[in-house]
Amino acid sequence: MSDFDYYIFIDYSEEVLGYFIIKKEEIVNIMPKISKFSHYRELKYKKAYLNSIRRIIEENKIIESFLKLKITEIRHTLEIYADLVEFLKNNSDSLIFISIDDNQYSNFERLVKNVGNNKIVKEGQLKKYSKEYKLSLIIDTLVNIKRLKKK
């Protein structure tokens, strides 16, 4: 995991798209704070989980660990991708790990495959319980919180 300078996690859920960028130095600090995070789809008591996790996010100031965070409607996909391409260009000398939702993978991969030095992985290919998988649960949870707040 120390091979990469930055980690980007992108997730999509029913008309909501979001991403966050985190420096490798922040990962050590954030890992103990996210031990209770789970994949939203696999949960039985979704509403209780989101309420509990929302408190954990606020109390542990998890969002402050991110270099960048943006969650918006899917119609703003182009804006999000432009932000990410700009970040990749500005950090072209850095190694960057990118995990993206399986549904968004092909479009995003074509857009950034020649920008910088990155490794792009489908969210579904992350090894379960790996650090990357656990970090991807953060954006999964944040996107679902935003999606349900809109309803």
For the chain, the structural domain boundaries read 6-150
Question: Which two structure tokens, joined as six digits, stand for 105?
Answer: 């993978």
Q: Quote the CA–CA distance of 143 and 128 in Å, as a whole number.
A: 20
Question: Which two structure tokens, joined as six digits, stand for 146?
Answer: 């935003």
Q: Are the beta carbons of 130 and 99 closer than 8 angstroms? A: no
Task: Give me the percent of the chain exceeding a pLDDT of 90.
Answer: 44
pTM of the model: 0.90
pLDDT digit string (tens) for 43-92? 678 788 888 888 888 999 999 999 999 999 988 888 999 999 999 999 98
Could you count the other beta carbons within 10 Å of the beta carbon of residue 105? Answer: 19
Fold classified for 6-150: Nucleotidyltransferase; domain 5 (3.30.420)
Report whether pLDDT(111) > 70. Answer: yes
Q: Which of 24-33, 74-83, 106-115 has the lowest mean pLDDT?
A: 106-115
